[in-house]
Structure formats: structure tokens, C-alpha cells
Amino acid sequence: MNARQKQKWADVPADAVNPLTHAVAARDRNTLAMVRDAITHKETMLAYQPVVSARAPGTRAFYEGLIRVLDATGRVIPAREFMPVIEDTDLGREIDVIALRMGLTALQRHPALRLSINMSARSIGYKAWKQLLHRALNRNPMLGERLILEITESSAMTVPELVVDLMDELQPKGICFALDDFGAGQTAIRYFKDFLFDVIKIDGQFIRGIARDADNRALTGALVSIAQHFDMLTIAECVENEQDAAAAAALGVDCLQGYFFGAPTTQPDWLKPAVQSSAR
């Protein structure tokens, strides 16, 4: 390549040289705009998925409240489609506040409900998030006993000391903490004994097909053993059939969550009467 050719390429923007980089950047910009618009127009909601007892699958231990947004066409977009893009931004903090507000409202309106809400460890120092939680607990201290805060392994490991401090502050108020995606490979063992999570959610990669996969059974058994040693409740994620449910239960998992027991829905049975009542 001669000097003129080198200069020609030097003048071209980097994302134009790499089409993949350009496509990813455009996708991320579109995702940010979609979430920003959804927040502006209050087009956000929680979808609720049941978590059931492994020994009595008909018994619902609690529900997980999963944040959703609507795009410009009215489609419901799950968190996995936008959280990786917004988690490190101010939009990620705003979404955490919205999810917490809706979760606290549901707990206030339904006294029999127990609910888990996802949060990023990056929201621990976010003033609006903490103020919202403390105001709700001051008005009704009993809410804490029905609230579970879920933090993923990868998020917890970004600021482990802050996570420990938050747990020390809120667990005496009755709030439980769940470590999501346990086994995904992010948690350093030296931190694990300091976290003292109440609940461990075993990552779905170990649960899908566990009935026919001896390696996954061995790995899940090891994760359950670790959790039991630290007196932590265990939940198997992504349970999609009866065989996998039975295999996880046989390994000592306490609770099960997945499409076999119910898909996330914005209109669970316990919410429908309240909606109908308010419409009259």
C-alpha cells in the first residue's frame, strides 16, 4: 500500500472500516433511544414469573418481577434485550428505580405477595434508588420482609464491598438478597463467604437438559452443596420440562423457576382482580 492509499484509509472513520463495529454501535444507539422513549412515555411494566417449591411444585414461594419496556410498535421487550446496553448508563439507574417502584407498589397493594426485583450493583450509590426504598420502608416497615433484591454475579463483582455494605444495612430490615446466575463464573471464592446472600439462583446453563446430562448434574450438585454450607436457599433457573424439574429436585434444589411452571406475564392471576376492580 502506497502513501496515498494509506492516507485514504486513515481518513475513513473507524466504524466505516469495520462494518461489524458500525452495526453494533448503531444497534446500541437504537436500544438507548428505545429505552429512553419508553421511560419518557411511561411505557414500562413488570412481568411476573412464579418460583415454586421443588418438593411441592404447586406451591408458589414467590414471584420474580422482570422489567419490560414497549418499543415504538408496541412490542414488549424483555430486559435481556436492552439491559446489557444500558446497565452502565444513567438509563440503567432509571430503569432500576422504575422496577423497584413498581415492585414496592405491588407489595403494598397485595399483602400476601412476596416478590423479587432485579437491580444492578451500580444502583447502590444512586440517590433516587435508595431514597425510594427507604421512604417505602419508613411508611411500611413490613414490606422489607416480602422483598427480595436480585443481583447478578457479574454485577456483584463490579463493586463487591458496596454489595456487602448494602446487605449489612438492609438484611436487618427483613430484605433478602439473591445472587442471580450463580455459577456463571464471575464470583471470586474469596468474596463468596463475605456476601452472605440469602438465596442462590443456579444459572440456567446447568439446568437445561440436566436430566440427561451427568456433567450438569455433578456441577449443580456441587453448587447446591456450596449454598447449603452457607445456609442459602437454592433456586434452579430455566426449568423447561418435568424431567429437568425432577432431576434438580433430586439434587436438593429448594425451588424451581422456568417456563415449565409459568412464563413471565404482566397479568398474573393475583393481579387481575385488582385491575378489574379499579376499572369499575
- For residue 223, with 0-12 CB atoms within 10 Å meaning exposed, 13-18 middle and 19 or more buried, which class applies? buried
48-62 burial: b if 16+ Cβ within 10 Å, else e: bbbbbebeebeebbb
How big is the chain, counted in residues?
280
C-alpha cell belonging to residue 49: 414469573
pLDDT recorded at residue 184: 78
pLDDT recorded at residue 27: 76
Domain that holds residue 182: 3-279
pLDDT recorded at residue 271: 77
Task: List per-block mean pLDDT (blocks of 10 residues) for the chain, which spans 280 residues.
Answer: 53 57 74 94 97 94 97 92 92 97 97 96 95 97 97 88 94 96 72 85 96 97 93 97 98 98 92 48
Report which secondary-structure segment, H or E, holds 100. helix 90-109
C-alpha cell belonging to residue 259: 417456563
pLDDT recorded at residue 142: 95
Provide the CATH number for the domain around residue 262: 3.20.20.450
C-alpha torsion sign, points 168, 172, 178, 182: positive
How many domains does the chain divide into? 1
pTM of the model: 0.87
Query: Distance of CA 190 to CAs 122, 131, 193, Å?
Result: 21, 31, 7
Q: What is the DSSP string of 180-220?
A: EEETSS---HHHHHHH--SEEEE-GGGTTTGGG-HHHHHHH
Looking at residue 179, what DSSP letter applies? E
